[in-house]
Amino acid sequence: MRTTILILTLIAMVTSGLNLNAQSKKALIVYYSWGGNTREIAEQIKSITGAEILEIVPANAYPGDYDECVDQAKKEINSDFRPAIKTKINNLKDYDVIYVGSPNWWSTIAPPVATFLSENDLSGKTVVPFITHGGGGKAKCFTDMQKLCSGATITEGLAIRDSRSKSSKAEVENWLKEINMIK
Ligand SMILES: Cc1cc2nc3c(=O)[nH]c(=O)nc-3n(C[C@H](O)[C@H](O)[C@H](O)COP(=O)(O)O)c2cc1C
């Protein structure tokens, strides 16, 4: 009888250990947001998954004026400029899953996100991309992100229209289920 209980306990321990999936992995949400829409989605992912969250903060803030910001972003993107960022992660090795969020800027990711991806080696990790946009959709955002994450496994990304960012929690939740980040 004792032996049977011992064997059953061992089987239970082994199978629960084998059941490690995305839901039990340690996750970090990293995002840049100029106007708040991408932050909104990042916060929704945090509230659904319980993942930790970290904002990418440029060393020099972008202009508060929209047109000035659009002009500066155009110049930076055209010259592949990587602005300095204040955000540093010392314990990247502790995370298996990194959510990476950006606004769509000129059909690609915002330069501070490109800086983050080039400064941090995400190889071996699962990268979960999400963007917000003003009507242009994902454009080149996910493919450009992928180019900067060599060696990482990239999941299907989520693109949310800016005007819907506050009311997209159900869509965010569905996407997280589809890509097996939550049950
Ligand atoms: C510099 C800049 C460039 C943009 N370029 C595009 C674009 O090419 N396509 C698009 O659909 N939206 C574009 N937008 C709109 C933003 O992608 C959209 O409003 C997004 O939700 C902003 O996210 P945020 O509030 O987190 O900064 C641009 C906005 C800015 C400020």
The Cβ of residue 183 has, within 10 Å, a number of other Cβ atoms equal to 8
For residue 36, is it left (φ>0), alpha (ψ between -120 and 50) or beta? left
**Residue 106 CA to chain centroid, in angstroms?**
19
Which of 69, 133, 161 is the best mutation target for the ligand 1 pocket, counting ligand atoms within 8 Å of the beta carbon and taking the most? 133
Token match 């400064």: residue? 119
From first CA to last CA, the distance across the chain in angstroms is: 36
Tell me the whole-structure pTM to 2 decimals. 0.90
Q: Please, what are the domains in the chain?
A: 24-178 (3.40.50.360)
Mean pLDDT for back-to-back runs of 10 residues, the chain (183 residues): 56 47 79 98 98 98 98 98 97 97 99 98 98 98 98 98 98 98 96
Question: What distance in Å separates the CA atoms of residue 47 and residue 103, rounded to the nearest whole number?
Answer: 20
pLDDT of 15 reads 46
pLDDT of 144 reads 98
Atom of ligand 1 nearest to the CA of 161: 21
pLDDT of 4 reads 60
pLDDT of 3 reads 63
Atom of ligand 1 nearest to the CA of 35: 25
98 three-state secondary structure: strand
Q: 168 in ligand 1 pocket by Cβ < 6 Å? A: no
How many Å lie between the centroid of ligand 1 and the Cα of residue 20? 37
Residue nearest to atom 8 of ligand 1 (CA): 106
Q: Is 181 exposed, middle or buried (0-12, 13-18, 19+ CB in 10 A)?
A: buried
Provide, for the chain, the percentages of residues in helix, strand and coil under a 3-state DSSP scheme, each rounded to the nearest 5. Answer: 45, 20, 35
How many Å lie between the centroid of ligand 1 and the Cα of residue 63? 14
The Cβ of residue 166 has, within 10 Å, a number of other Cβ atoms equal to 13
Q: 163 in ligand 1 pocket by Cβ < 6 Å? A: no
How many Å lie between the centroid of ligand 1 and the Cα of residue 121? 26
pLDDT of 25 reads 83
How many Å lie between the centroid of ligand 1 and the Cα of residue 110? 9
pLDDT of 17 reads 42
